[in-house]
Amino acid sequence: MNFGIYFRWSGLLFIFCALVSLLILRQYQDPGIRTAVGTGLGMAYLNTLIGFFVLAWGYRRQPKQLMVAVFGGMIFRFLLIFAALFVLIWALKMNQVALVTSLVAAYFLFLVLEIFHIVRNVDRKEGEQ
């Protein structure tokens, strides 16, 4: 799995999400909402990069180790996101709706990119054999 290609595509998707968010947030003057949306996008982007590293590690291993990497990485990322949400919402009093909405929307977009990248690499690997 090529990190450079994935990093480029995920970076472009992050910029796209940021631009769409800026267009939507033009009507809101509250900097707290903008901060929450930016934080949600950043969390989703960090999550996808962590996911890629875990998948790339498992991709070079045996199928059993790949499954452990996929599911273990998924659990680790969920726990990391929930812990961060807890701190951001309850301790820092960040806007809940803006934070969670931007996180979930960006998370699913990055998930689609992650799945597309995995399928593309599996097809290439099978073609080489």
User: d(Cα 81, Cα 11) in Å, to the nearest integer?
Assistant: 20
The parent domain of residue 78 ranges over 3-16+32-128
Number of domains in the chain: 1
| Statement: residue 126 has pLDDT above 70 | no
Residue 25 lies in a domain: no
Task: Give the pLDDT of residue 30.
Answer: 86
pLDDT score of 3: 79
The answer as to whether 21 is a domain residue is no
Helices (H), the chain: 3-25, 31-59, 63-86, 96-128
Residue 24 lies in a domain: no
Any domain includes 112: yes
Question: Is position 23 within any domain?
Answer: no
- At 31-55, the pLDDT tens digits run 899 999 999 999 999 999 999 988 8
Confidence of residue 111 (pLDDT cuts 50, 70, 90): very high
Nearest-CA neighbor of 2 among 128, 129, 124, 127?
Answer: 124
Confidence label for 124 from pLDDT (cuts 50, 70 and 90) = low
Q: Tell me if 22 is assigned to some domain.
A: no
